[in-house]
Amino acid sequence: MPLPRFAALRSDEVNLRTGPGTRFPIEWTYQRRELPVEITREFELWRRIRDPEGTEGWVHQSTLMGRRSAIVRGAPNSETVLRRRPEDGAAAVARLRPGVVVRLRLCEARNPWCEAQAGEHRGYILRSEVWGVLPDEEVK
């Protein structure tokens, strides 16, 4: 598979290591299932990842899942609108704060909008307003 690419954390406890193997120390433990991460390198069953904050390290491939998610960007106390239709000015389905993780349902290549789900709310969000999908990437 091509690099870089995105994945999501499979569980609420994922160890980030300084190198690709259990002999390397744990630098950090993530406690957020479905947090999007960018895979930047591979070594056997290990993946070097970068999180939304820019922290990098190694995780075992079994701690990642292919189901795609993204995290809402923005300034503190700002809101990003999840819209009913993929167009500016469409009715709001939900207002999301920075740091909210959404599940990506569909992003068409070169389309600025992605279909996303936050909890029970389903709608459309601009890909530029989230971290976890490349500018021209297709997500199915």
Last residue in a domain, options 27, 44, 67 = 67
Q: What are phi and psi of 127, to 5 degrees?
A: -65, -25
Which CATH number characterizes residue 93's domain? 2.30.30.40
Tokens of 131: 């971290």
Query: What confidence tens digit (pLDDT) does each residue in 27-38 have?
Result: 999 999 999 999
Query: DSSP class of residue 25?
Result: P
Taking only the tens place, the pLDDT of each residue in 45-85 is 999 999 999 999 999 999 999 899 999 999 999 999 999 99
Q: Clarify whether residues 63 and 42 are in a common domain.
A: yes
The answer to whether 70 and 133 have CB atoms below 8 angstroms apart is yes
Q: Is residue 139 part of a domain?
A: no
Q: Which domain holds residue 114?
A: 71-131
pTM, to two decimals: 0.93
Q: What's the total number of domains in the chain?
A: 2
Task: Pick the last residue of a domain from 67, 86, 121.
Answer: 67
Query: 57 and 80: one domain?
Result: no
Confidence label for 1 from pLDDT (cuts 50, 70 and 90): confident
